[in-house]
């Protein structure tokens, strides 16, 4: 069972210079930064799948009362959903949780978007009417692209009821899902996830939650993850139902989260918020051979220096040093380290000055160096945009302008016009670029290889898209003799698939489209044989893809009018001998008679009958072709030697 909790109510900063709080009839004032830092960087989301009379519910209440600054969400699950009827114990238990300041979410299964939206909303309505929950956890969330609208619809419905929503795919999601619900559980499994697996650069940690099963309490992990997710739950429970008990260290976990300030540090004191005027810096040193240093600076979007942002320096998963920017970390020349900078309140990491957008980066030291992280101070980073140019070319690469196209995103028109056309794309957004045909110009393919006239793209850099068009050209089939001169009477056909485009005597001219695939077949005239094409290929059928008007030349060889035919006699042992009588006839006329070895002149294409005789112990066995009939009929087209085998 995968779960999470609401993340939007936990990091509320009072940005007035002084905050006033009414306590017991007295007005108490406190510095706004101190009030903001009293809320930890993390909240705890608890799959509280026990009955309300269980001691686990009172333990949650006691932990919340002991650490009131820690946001806690309890997911309740009466019966794999709200159950068949209202349970008074749940009513009282939920009221007690909420009175202590715990946010309560109701569990609803979506069957990976297999349940209808109406049935899911009906379960939501039962939670609202029976138990007055604060939010809904949608479990078994489908994270495949195409289901975003399903969950966005549920999120909007829950929001319309004044509730918060969470989805639980239990693993990573495409960025298109972020924002469909108020938060997503991007990891639910045994062991701790790697930081890279749960990192979504440019998105607020409040969008994400992590649940790790069968693990000890790891305060280092809690500190590291606080800049990446808004909600966390570590438990040493495992097995088929790790949610029927609380972690053995539950109170210690809440205490650890309570001590994590907005910078990600685990400390008993709160750090000051980032400031463009602060001069605080942290330096680590090393006396090892080859020691070099990395300076880490932070600036706002205008390039103004910022200080007081939390940074961590690690190697191979081991934390080496931490500090507030501007910071200097020591390392060894040539070795690779991991550097992470954290968000704080409205100070959100946007990019590194060299363009990288992941707040955690690998650094291989080569001498002293400086890296600068760029932050937004408004709570969100401006959208990154890239120019996209759509142009058109003929199939052969020659430039072609004036082809009409449209660009849409999410069904809304973005741009339209004639090539070449440029538009500005927002990173992460999906665009559909559709080009039209015009007259005899027909779309063939994109520079990406895609053959659909509508191309879907998600640009992450400056992009050039080229649409290639087919145009009508002439495909001419000609003929020539291998000995020089012309050939009369040859024919050809040009086909596309099973459709014949043109056929007839050579020379043959067919109108074809550039980029199309065509099969050209030639047939020699009487007395000739196909030799080869001009490019050397020797099959009379050839597939071509013309990119311009093209002439193909088929070469034919004139067949001889007469050829020599020789008849030999050979013993079965393979030794040749002579003196066996034979006769040759054609059309009933005797052409030649005599003893082997005998040679006669035959007309090409004419049929001849050769009859072998026996003599004493020399008895005909078979021809070299294997035939055992002493009478052999042939139609020679070239000089031929026939061998008659005899048993002696």
- Is residue 22 scored above 50 in pLDDT? no
- The pair of structure tokens assigned to 167 is 């989805």
Calculate mean pLDDT across residues 61-67.
90
Q: Are 472 and 487 in contact (CB under 8 A)?
A: no
Strands 336-341 and 310-315: antiparallel
The DSSP string of 138-207 is EES---STT-HHHHHHHHHHHHHTT-EEEE--SS---GGGBTTBSEEEEEEEESPPPTTTT--TTS-GGG
**Across 327-331, 573-577, 636-640, which has the greatest mean pLDDT?**
573-577
Q: Please name which of 156, 191, 145, 187 lies closest in space to residue 169, comparing C-alpha atoms.
A: 187
Residue scoring higher pLDDT (93 or 354): 93
Q: What is the pLDDT of residues 225-271, one digit of tens each?
A: 999 999 999 999 988 889 999 999 998 899 889 888 655 544 433 33
Indicate the pLDDT class of residue 559, thresholds 50, 70 and 90.
confident
Percent of all residues in the chain with a pLDDT value above 70, rounded to a whole number: 90
Which pLDDT score is estimated for 209? 96
C-alpha closest to that of 552 among 605, 514, 507, 591: 507
Q: Helices 250-258 and 55-66 meet at what angle, rounded to 10?
A: 20
Distance CA 28, CA 49 (A): 39
Q: Is the pLDDT of residue 422 over 90?
A: yes
pLDDT in tens, 601-647: 998 889 999 999 999 999 999 999 999 999 999 999 889 999 999 99
Nearest to 70 by CA among 322, 288, 259: 259
- 578-611 pLDDT, tens digit each: 999 999 999 999 999 999 999 999 988 899 999 9
How many residues are given for the chain? 648
Give the other-Cβ count within 10 Å of 613's Cβ: 13
- Spell 6-45 as b/e; 16+ CB within 10 A means b: bbebbbebbeeeebeeeeeeeeeeeebbebbbebbbbbbb
Count of CA atoms in the C-beta half-sphere (13 A) of 383: 9
Burial of 564 (0-12, 13-18, 19+ CB in 10 A): middle
What pLDDT, on a 0 to 100 scale, did the predictor assign at position 477?
A: 96
Q: Is the pLDDT of residue 524 over 70?
A: yes
Q: Tell me what pLDDT residue 310 has.
A: 81
Q: Which residues of 338-374 are buried (b: 16+ CB within 10 A; e: fewer)?
A: bbbbbbbbbbbbbbbeeeebebbbebebeeeeebbbb
Question: Is the model's pLDDT at 423 over the cut of 50?
Answer: yes
DSSP for 261-278? -TTS-B-SSPPPPPBSS-
In this prediction, residue 7 has a pLDDT band, given cuts at 50, 70 and 90, of: very low
3-state secondary structure of 64: helix
Residue 274 has a pLDDT of: 52
- The answer, yes or no, to whether residue 564 has pLDDT greater than 70, is yes
Question: Where do runs of H (alpha helix) occur along 259-373?
Answer: none
- Which of 581, 589, 637 lies closest to 609 in space, CA to CA? 589
DSSP summary character for residue 485: S
Q: What is the DSSP letter of 334?
A: T
Please give the distance of CA 144 from its chain centroid, rounded to a whole number: 12
Cβ–Cβ < 8 Å for 283, 328: yes
Q: Is the pLDDT of residue 27 over 90?
A: no
> Which strands sit side by side in the sheet containing 431-435, from one edge to the other?
412-418, 404-409, 431-435, 454-457
Confidence class of residue 395 from pLDDT cuts 50, 70 and 90? confident
Tokens describing residue 72: 């806690």
Three-class secondary structure assignment of 92-138: HHHHHHHHCCCEEEEEEECCCCCCCHHHHHHHHHHHHHHHCCCEEEE
Please tell me the predicted confidence (pLDDT) of residue 38.
47
CB 43 within 8 A of CB 7: yes
Residue 223 CA: distances (Å) to CA of 345, 401, 528: 15, 57, 87
pLDDT of 287 > 60? The answer is no
CB within 8 Å of 370: residues ≥ 6 apart? 294, 295, 296, 297
Q: What average pLDDT score do residues 495-520 get?
A: 93
User: Which of helix, strand or coil describes residue 65?
Assistant: helix
Angstrom distance (rounded) from CA 333 to CA 366 = 5
Percent of the chain at pLDDT exceeding 90: 68
> Phi, psi (5° rounding) for residue 227?
-90, 0
Mean pLDDT of the 23-36 span: 29
**Is 423:415 a contact under the CB 8 Å cutoff?**
yes
Q: What integer is the mean pLDDT of 147-155?
A: 96
| pLDDT per position as a tens digit, 177-208 | 999 999 999 999 999 999 999 999 999 999 99
Query: Average pLDDT over the chain, rounded to whole?
Result: 86
pLDDT at 590: 95
Q: Is the pLDDT of residue 56 over 80?
A: yes
Closest-CA residue to 418 (of 440, 394, 401): 401
Please state whether the predicted TM-score (pTM) of the whole model is above 0.75. no
């Amino acid at each position: 069972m995968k779960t999470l909790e609401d993340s939007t109510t936990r990091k509320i900063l009072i940005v007035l210079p002084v905050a006033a709080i009414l306590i017991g009839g007295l007005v108490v004032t406190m510095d706004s930064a101190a009030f903001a830092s009293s809320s930890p960087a993390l909240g705890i989301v608890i799959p509280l799948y026990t009955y309300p009379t269980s001691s686990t519910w009172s333990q949650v209440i006691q932990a919340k009362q002991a650490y009131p600054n820690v946001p806690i969400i309890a997911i309740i699950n009466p019966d794999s959903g709200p159950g068949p009827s209202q349970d008074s114990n749940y009513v009282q238990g939920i009221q007690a949780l909420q009175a202590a300041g715990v946010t309560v979410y109701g569990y609803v299964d979506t069957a990976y978007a297999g349940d209808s939206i109406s049935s899911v909303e009906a379960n939501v309505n039962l939670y609202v009417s029976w138990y007055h929950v604060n939010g809904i956890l949608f479990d078994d969330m489908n994270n495949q692209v195409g289901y975003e609208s399903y969950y966005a619809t549920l999120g909007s419905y829950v929001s319309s009821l004044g509730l918060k929503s969470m989805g639980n795919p239990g693993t990573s999601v495409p960025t298109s899902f972020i924002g469909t619900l108020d938060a997503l559980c991007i990891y639910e499994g045994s062991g701790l996830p790697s930081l890279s697996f749960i990192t979504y650069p440019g998105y607020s940690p409040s969008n994400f939650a992590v649940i790790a099963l069968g693990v000890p309490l790891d305060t280092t992990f809690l500190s590291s993850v606080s800049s990446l997710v808004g909600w966390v739950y570590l438990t040493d429970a495992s097995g088929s139902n790790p949610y029927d008990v609380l972690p053995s260290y539950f109170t210690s976990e809440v205490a650890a989260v309570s001590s994590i300030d907005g910078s990600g540090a685990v400390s008993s004191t709160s750090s000051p918020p980032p400031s463009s005027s602060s001069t605080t810096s942290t330096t680590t040193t090393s006396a090892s051979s080859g020691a070099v240093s990395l300076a880490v600076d932070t600036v706002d979007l205008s390039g103004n220096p910022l200080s007081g942002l939390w940074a961590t320096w690690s190697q191979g998963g081991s934390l080496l040093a931490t500090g507030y920017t501007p910071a200097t970390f020591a390392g060894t020349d040539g070795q690779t380290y991991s550097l992470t900078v954290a968000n704080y309140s409205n100070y959100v990491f946007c990019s590194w000055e060299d363009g990288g957008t992941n707040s955690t980066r690998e650094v291989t030291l080569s001498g002293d160096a400086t890296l600068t992280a760029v932050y937004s101070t408004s709570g969100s980073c401006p959208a990154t945009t890239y120019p996209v140019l759509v142009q058109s070319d003929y199939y052969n690469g020659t430039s072609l302008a004036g082809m009409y196209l449209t660009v849409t995103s999410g069904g809304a028109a973005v741009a339209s016009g004639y090539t070449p056309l440029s538009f500005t794309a927002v990173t992460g957004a999906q665009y559909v670029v559709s080009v039209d045909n015009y007259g005899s110009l027909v779309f063939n393919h994109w520079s990406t290889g895609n053959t659909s006239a509508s191309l879907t793209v998600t640009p992450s850099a400056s992009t050039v898209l080229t649409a290639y068009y087919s145009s009508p050209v002439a495909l001419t089939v000609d003929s020539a003799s291998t000995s020089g001169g012309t050939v009369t009477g040859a024919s050809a056909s040009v086909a596309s698939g099973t459709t014949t485009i043109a056929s007839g005597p050579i020379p043959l001219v067919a109108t074809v489209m550039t980029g199309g695939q065509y099969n050209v077949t030639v047939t020699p005239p009487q007395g000739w044989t196909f030799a080869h094409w001009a490019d050397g290929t020797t099959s009379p059928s050839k597939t071509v893809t013309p990119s311009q008007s093209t002439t193909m030349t088929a070469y034919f060889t004139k067949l001889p009018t007469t050829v020599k035919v020789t008849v030999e006699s050979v013993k079965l042992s393979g030794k040749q001998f002579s003196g066996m009588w034979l006769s040759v006839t054609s059309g009933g006329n005797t052409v030649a008679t005599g003893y082997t070895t005998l040679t006669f002149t035959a007309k090409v294409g004419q049929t001849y009958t050769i009859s072998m005789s026996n003599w004493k112990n020399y008895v005909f066995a078979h021809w070299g072709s294997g035939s055992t009939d002493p009478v052999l009929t042939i139609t020679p087209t070239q000089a031929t030697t026939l061998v008659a085998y005899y048993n002696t």
